């Protein structure tokens, strides 16, 4: 299953756990926003699952 993250900017704590964990380097924190490089994302879902506050749609808040 392909699962691309959907960033919830209000929940996000800018903790960069997702950025450092993404296996392909598809995420970055730039100008206080989490940015997704669609070309690099392989939809593995790891970032959404490990976000400590469920700000990428991997828990009750989304997927």
Dist. CA 1–CA 20, nearest whole Å? 22
**Is residue 14 a contact residue for other proteins (CB under 8 A)?**
yes
**Is residue 4 a contact residue for other proteins (CB under 8 A)?**
no
Dist. CA 40–CA 5, nearest whole Å? 12
**Is residue 47 a contact residue for ligand SF4 (CB under 6 A)?**
yes
Based on CB atoms, which residue is closest to ligand SF4, 16 or 30? 16
Dist. CA 32–CA 2, nearest whole Å? 26
Which residues of this chain interact with other proteins, rule CB under 8 A?
Answer: 13-21, 23, 25, 28-31, 46, 48-63
């Amino acid at each position: 299953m392909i699962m691309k993250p959907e960033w919830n900017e209000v929940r996000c704590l800018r903790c960069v756990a997702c950025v450092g964990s993404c296996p392909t380097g598809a995420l970055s924190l730039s100008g206080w926003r989490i940015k997704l490089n669609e070309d690099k994302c392989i939809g593995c879902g790891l970032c959404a699952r490990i976000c400590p506050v469920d700000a990428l749609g991997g828990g009750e808040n989304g997927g």
